[in-house]
Copies of this chain bind each other. A is one copy, B any other.
Amino acid sequence: MTEQANRGPADPADETSTPVRPGRRRSEESRRAILAAAYELLDEAGYARLTVEGIAARAGTGKQTVYRWWPGKADVLLEALTVHARRHVPLPDTGDHAADLHAFLAATFAAATPPTGDALRALMAEAQIDPAFGARFRDTLLNPRREALGTLLARAHAADALAPQLTPATAVDLAFGLLWYRLLATREPLDDRLAALLTRTLLRA
């Protein structure tokens, strides 16, 4: 029933302008309990054992309440993650391209450590398996970060500070590629030293 209008993780902001529909309002308490339950269960059991039933049970809600507001467990996790990690990555602009880039990368790397890193890995996996979720994942999480870094690197490019032959777009791919490859494949640490190395590689020596 009427799931079309008010659905979507990111829009409790619209609440002020809603035309005040009849009926019981969405329970903010349930919403938070579901997000928290999803996050906790991922930690405790891993994505393979994360189920909608388990989330609902832990949250003390019915399954329908989950399905009414999210398409599936991956989307719950995606919203849980954006809640947890909303503003972890600011966009610095001090004029010092190297310092700005290093700060951004270091903050991004720091945000990709467990348990957030585990959620990211799970979502990237789900994005491969469920193409529709993949699109939402890109729109909600991947692309905003790409654009932030892209903006930063475009400034460097305009100042001719980018390494030769690199465009902002490919530099973004190199940076996030390194991040995700370490996260998904090698599981090696993402520390400030690596951010520094990456900064020097992407910018003109």
List the B side residues contacting A170 at CB < 8 Å.
Answer: 194, 197
- Which of A124, A127, A129, A166 counts the most chain B CB atoms within 10 A? A129
A38 CB to closest chain B CB (Å) equals: 15
Q: A165-B201, A185-B180, A186-B173 are in contact. Are A129 and B124 (CB under 8 A)?
A: no
A138 at interface, CB cutoff 8 A? yes
A84 at interface, CB cutoff 8 A? no
List the B side residues contacting A166 at CB < 8 Å.
Answer: 197, 201
Query: How many A residues face the partner with a CB closer than 8 A?
Result: 38
List the B side residues contacting A163 at CB < 8 Å.
Answer: 201
Q: Is the CB of B174 within 8 A of A201?
A: yes
Q: A177-B177, A185-B180, A186-B173 are in contact. Are A197 and B165 (CB under 8 A)?
A: yes
List the B side residues contacting A186 at CB < 8 Å.
Answer: 173
Q: Is the CB of A182 within 8 A of B173?
A: yes
* 23 A/B residue pairs, CB under 8 Å, sorted by A: A46-B129, A48-B129, A124-B125, A124-B185, A125-B125, A125-B127, A125-B129, A127-B184, A138-B185, A164-B200, A165-B200, A166-B197, A170-B194, A170-B197, A173-B182, A173-B186, A174-B177, A174-B201, A176-B181, A177-B180, A177-B182, A180-B180, A201-B201
